[in-house]
Amino acid sequence: MATPVDPDFRARLSALNDKFAATVPGTMEKIRVALAECAAGGATPSSAALHQLHEALHGVAGSAGTFGFATLGTECRRIEQTVRAVLAGGDGWATVPPAVEKLLHWASIDPRSADYQ
């Protein structure tokens, strides 16, 4: 038996998307601050600063796609995985700051865009 479609579903989903969209600038600022904390550690960021950056990226990566920000979520996930590898003692930190800067710049223009440049 078919379940009736909730007539308010789309309106509620749109409201949730708008609510998420309103948090994006603040979240990007948290990522910017976390990156600055990492940079303050010199060539080798502290574990605490890396964890802060990882958590900020992870939060976006886990929820952005649900709210219509698929590319934002994908790019945050990609960078998050690099940060996770650095936390595990791997190389790759040198690629993180430019990747985060690119993400922040792109997100400041249109974080809903599917075109990541």
The 10s digit of each residue's pLDDT in 37-94 is: 999 977 889 999 999 999 999 999 999 999 999 999 999 999 999 999 999 987 889 9
Domain borders along the chain are 20-109
User: At 74, phi and psi to the nearest 5?
Assistant: -65, -45
Question: How far is the C-alpha of 22 from the C-alpha of 69, rounded, in Å?
Answer: 12
What CATH number should be reported for the domain whose range is 20-109?
1.20.120
Q: Is the pLDDT of residue 113 over 60?
A: yes
d(CA 52, CA 41): 13
What mean pLDDT is predicted for residues 7-20? 87
Residue 116 — very low, low, confident or very high, per pLDDT cuts 50/70/90?
Answer: very high
Mean pLDDT of the chain: 91
pTM of the model: 0.88
